[in-house]
Amino acid sequence: MGSEIRLRTRSADETREVGAAIARALVPGDVVSLTGDLGAGKTTLVQGSARELGVTDPVASPTFVLVREYRGSLPIYHVDVYRLERIQEVLDLGFEDLLDPHGVVFIEWGGAIEGLLPDSHLEVELHALEGDEEREVAVRARGPGWAARWVDLSGSLGSWRAA
Ligand code: ADP
Ligand code: MG
């Protein structure tokens, strides 16, 4: 079966629901890396996750700061390393110093700093399909930290599974 599930969403709200389902599986210290082109839906998915975790503030890509922090049922950190200087900031700071064992981190364009991510993390790759609102969302578990949770997570994402 492998630790990957491929999903299909048909609207931004459906992608937010996928984000919410992912959020329900998260525990403190988790890292979720999001990849996919500009406009693929990375921020949209994080919006759904944040809302599920009790965040009421609006969630947008952190353009002017490296990390944006939201207060929910636990601290939520939102990072976007699209710009080269952001990658450099993470390199300078060290990814570990960005991590809070009590919170969860969502990192857009996380593939750009793949080697700095902790061994165990969740990878979400989004692709636009032909229709304006259709997206393919691949969710992959990396490292041992997800092994015990994968069956539950993939089950909870089952209703969006691509045919
Ligand atoms: P990214 O962070 O990957 O650059 P955004 O989430 O900021 O992308 O933007 C995605 C845009 O596409 C939003 O305007 C959103 O409303 C729209 N959209 C349309 N359909 C979908 C979908 N199925 N999933 C996610 N976003 C969608
Ligand atoms: Mg974004």
Question: What per-residue confidence (pLDDT) applies to 2?
Answer: 66
Contacts of 20 (CB under 8 A, 6+ apart): 48, 49, 51, 52
Average pLDDT, stretch 124-131? 94
- Give the number of the ligand closest to the Cα of residue 35: 1
Residue nearest to atom 16 of ligand 1 (CA): 12
146 alpha carbon – ligand 2 mean position (Å):
25
Task: Give mean pLDDT, residues 52-57.
Answer: 97
Q: Ligand 1 pocket check: which of 9, 44, 49, 134 to mutate, most ligand atoms within 8 Å of Cβ?
A: 44
Q: How far apart are the C-alpha atoms of 136 and 143, rounded to whole Å? A: 23
Condensed to tens digits (0 to 9), the pLDDT of residues 1-49 reads: 469 999 999 999 999 999 999 999 999 999 999 999 999 999 999 999 9
pTM of the model: 0.96
Q: Give pLDDT, residue 63.
A: 77
Q: For 70-105, what is each residue's pLDDT tens digit?
A: 999 999 999 999 888 888 988 888 888 877 889 999
Pocket of ligand 1 (CB under 6 A): 9, 11-12, 14-15, 36, 38-44, 61, 108, 133, 135
State in Å: Cα 16 to ligand 1 middle. 10
The secondary structure element, H or E, covering residue 97 is helix 95-98
